[in-house]
Chains A and B, each alone.
Chain A
Amino acid sequence: MSDVEFHEQGELNDISLEGEITVPGVPSNKDEFSTLDEPVKDTIMRDLKAVGVKFWHVLYPKTSTALLREWDLWGPLILCVFMAMMLQGDTLDQMHDGGPQFAEVFVIYWVGAVVVTLNTKLLGGNISFFQSVCVLGYCVCPLSIALIICRCILIAKVQTTVLFIIRFVAVVVGFGWSTFASTAFLAESQPPNRKVLAMYPIFLFYFVISWLIISHTHS
């Protein structure tokens, strides 16, 4: 038996743990621990800036990895809540309250994102679950802009065919933009010969959301 030294229990308890868990080659995140002391405003502004940068990437899609590398779910949540509130009907016009419509949009959005992500992973894509949900959520941004345009048009008292055509075109443009943006981000993670199989559910997902927007006729 080799000589093994047993430390006294008392000695061990007196020595405080120190040192760092570092991985060679990765920059150490020493400044992360200092974010606890900063003012709340700084934290919020930093997060909002990150969300804003991602919206910018979605609106001008180039093949960048910013959305994938630093994914977050704030942007999708903001978009989902915004769309659910805008698509809610007025309580005065309908017999039921606006609750089910808010819940419906919420459920469609998140369940749709989960289903599309599962399909992507099952087809052999090398992307993590939350990255995919993040990209799908952020790419709804053009459709939200189309929803704002539709709502503005619906303010007019008389709805003519021309106004309906404008709304329709706005939603179609938003739908195409969303699908194109998500393709730009998600395409590389798919095996090359199965891109169509992965893109079809994304197409359906944005189609359903576009349909919800275009069919929302009461202001």
Chain B
Amino acid sequence: MADTSSSWSSQNAVLDMDDVAGSDHSDYETNFSTSGRQGSGGEKMSGTYMDSMKQRLQENVTNMMWQSGKERATKAWNIYGNLDILRPYFNVEPHEVRSRLVHSLLPQRPSDERQRVPRELYGPMMIIFTLIALLLFQMKTAEHRVEEGTLMGTSFGVCFTYWLGASGLVWVLSYVCNTHLTLIQILSMMGYGLGGHCVVIFLGTIIHTSHDHLFFYALWAVVGGLSSLRMVSIVLSRTHGQTQRMIVCGAVAALNLLFLLYLHFAYHQIVEDLSEVFASHHNPVVADAVGVNKGDDSAVKNTEVEDG
């Protein structure tokens, strides 16, 4: 192709720069440029040759960079954007998912052999989406206006941040304390631990006892405790050494239980406060105004935790 370039340039429809090297195609004369051009007639030819060389060099370099960048991007996409990386973790049957959900609330007695942890991401993802939907359901049970945009985005962010962040933290701790768990197994274990949270939030919303948190605390202790014990027994069977066991088990149990408390108090509290206001005032005008104000303060309320 290189040796036909001269014949190409003579026959293609693109403007040939050699023909119009003298003028710059402007409609008006530029007097100040002609005097300069008359003086450098001899150097003009080599000047334009150098210019065209430079231009061609530039084009070649640009093309090369574009090609190599494109190749690298395609390679990176094929490696990371490929769905097939995640496919093995979604290879489950419905009965397996069902049994794992049930067993996430049944702690096994720790024995000498390692407890099996499935490397699966379908169950945890579905549990998290269910949790997000349940939080939305919980926020809407009181019939008043809450800023659903803010709370929907917040619940999405909170749930995924907890799952990924807590799993990351437990992974770092298990690396330090020499626990035999891979990141996928930790993700899977913490995800299934959220199944208990879904049950508690569902029951807590259906059986709505205002002014009294005892029911919630009972559910928190029983269901939250069972799922934490299950995860603790998994970790115990895969860690050696007293201190290490205490660190990792403590972290796992604390994260699980505190997250359930947070979900209750950050979201349920808003609902309860507003229902209190409505019950006590019985005045729609005042209640609406307060309700709007309370809705605007929802971000502030998230940081406050009232005493039970």
**Which chain A residues have a beta carbon within 8 Å of chain B's beta carbons?**
9-10, 13, 89, 94-96, 100-101, 103-104, 108, 115, 118-119, 121-124, 193-194, 196-197, 200-201, 204, 207-208, 211-212, 215, 217-218
Report the bound CA distance from A196 to B7 in whole Å: 66
Across the interface, do A95 and B133 meet the contact criterion of CB distance under 8 Å?
no
Task: For chain B, give the interface size range.
Answer: 20 to 34
Are the CB atoms of A101 and B292 closer together than 8 Å?
Answer: no
The answer on a CB contact under 8 Å between A201 and B129 is: yes
A103 near B149 with CB under 8 A, answer yes
Which residues from A are CB-within-8-Å of B97? 197
B93–A193 CB distance below 8 A: yes
Among B8, B152, B296, which residue has its beta carbon within 8 angstroms of that of A95? B296
Contact B94 A10 (CB under 8 A): no
Give the residues in chain B near A121, CB-CB below 8 Å.
Answer: 83
Chain B residues numbered 81-111 whose CB sits less than 8 Å from any CB in chain A? 83, 86-87, 90-94, 97
* Contact A104–B148 (Cβ < 8 Å): yes
Known pairs A118-B83, A200-B126, A201-B129; A96 contacts B7 (CB<8 A): no
In the complex, how many angstroms separate the beta carbon of A175 from the nearest chain B beta carbon?
A: 13
CB nearest neighbor in B for A129: B83
Partner pick for B145 among A193, A204, A218, CB 8 A cutoff: A218
A193 CA to B93 CA in the complex, in Å?
7
Q: Do the beta carbons of B133 and A100 come within 8 Å of each other?
A: no
- Asked if B145 contacts A101 (CB within 8 A), the reply is no
Q: Given A9-B7, A123-B90, A108–B129 Cβ distance below 8 Å?
A: no
Known contacts: A123-B90, A194-B94. The answer to whether A201 contacts B126 by CB under 8 A is yes
Question: Which residues on the B side are within 8 Å of A208 (C-beta)?
Answer: 133, 136
Which residues from chain B contact A119 at a C-beta distance below 8 Å? 90, 122, 125
Q: How far is the CB of A90 from chain B (nearest CB, A)?
A: 11
Q: Are B292 and A100 in contact (CB under 8 A)?
A: no
Q: Does B130 contact A (CB under 8 A)?
A: yes
Contact of A204 among B8, B86, B92, B130 (CB under 8 A): B130
Interface residues of B in 191-217 (CB under 8 A from A): none
Q: Is there contact, CB below 8 Å, between A101 and B149?
A: yes
Q: Say whether B292 contacts A10, CB under 8 Å.
A: no
Give the residue of B8, B126, B145 whose beta carbon is less than 8 angstroms from that of A94: B145
Closest CB in chain A relative to B267 CB, distance in Å = 15
Residues of B with C-beta under 8 A to A218: 145
Closest 7 pairs (CB-CB, A-B): A100-B149, A122-B90, A104-B149, A215-B140, A196-B94, A9-B4, A9-B7
Indicate which residue in B126, B129, B136, B147 contacts A96 across the interface (CB closer than 8 Å): B147
Chain A residues with CB below 8 A from B126, complex form:
200-201, 204
